[in-house]
Amino acid sequence: MQYCTHCKVQLLETRKHCPLCGNSLKIEPDQNISESFPKIDSYIKGTGKLKLLLFLSVVIIILSFTVYSFFPTELNYPLLITLGMGSLWLDMIFLVKRRFHIPKKIVWQVFILAVLSLFWDWNTGWRGWSITYFIPFLYIIALLLMYAIAVIMKLNSRDYITYAFMSALFGILPVLFIMFEWVTVTYPSILSIAFSSTILSAIFILQWDSIKLEFQKRMHI
């Protein structure tokens, strides 16, 4: 039995520090340290994968500037990619620290950023960069971010599968940009459609039971 002189309480187990105030406790030579509280691992897992994602981000930025130096265009897309990657990592840090309902927050951020980009593009003379580049790549980044967060934090598929499904559906929307000829550069939209279609196929084939259960729960079926 130990006694904390600061909190004026007795402890049943033997500890180095008081669990209430952190004050150092006296330990007799013949006492064995025993703690009743289990050690809980950090919710952030897979630091190796996180480092790999950071390395890939740097490689993408370097490659974009390299390609741009050989094939310059009017649009400074390496700068956009750098800003996008910076935003991606800032989002990841924010979402990991505030880790509750992360997939839902990602979906809302995608929607808000898409609307803001359209508004900004419209109010600066409408050059079409929002639907040509920003929105298609935003959908791809959102899906990658959702997957990265799920892997790093070891989320259960049921925790993010519904929002991944919604994000993938958003990613197919650029097909309208091509159908109605709203864009002249089509490869970003095609990449978004292909990537989102792949994710949707994976969800339907591999996670159909999980998404069916989630929809039944949310629709109260």
- pLDDT tens figures, 22-76: 677 776 655 555 555 555 454 455 566 778 888 888 998 999 999 999 988 877 7
167 touches 219 (CB < 8 A): no
Report the pLDDT value the prediction gives residue 83, as an integer from 0 to 100. 76
Q: With beta carbons less than 8 A apart as the criterion, state whether 11 and 25 touch.
A: yes
User: Any idea of the CA torsion for 112, 117, 120, 125, to the nearest 10 degrees?
Assistant: -150
Instruction: Look up residue 184 and give its amino acid.
Output: T
Q: List the chain residues with pLDDT less than 70.
A: 1, 12-13, 21-22, 27-48, 88, 91-92, 94-101, 153, 155-159, 211, 214-221
Q: What is the pLDDT of residue 174?
A: 93
Residue 53: its pLDDT value, please?
A: 80
The confidence score (pLDDT) of residue 206 equals: 77
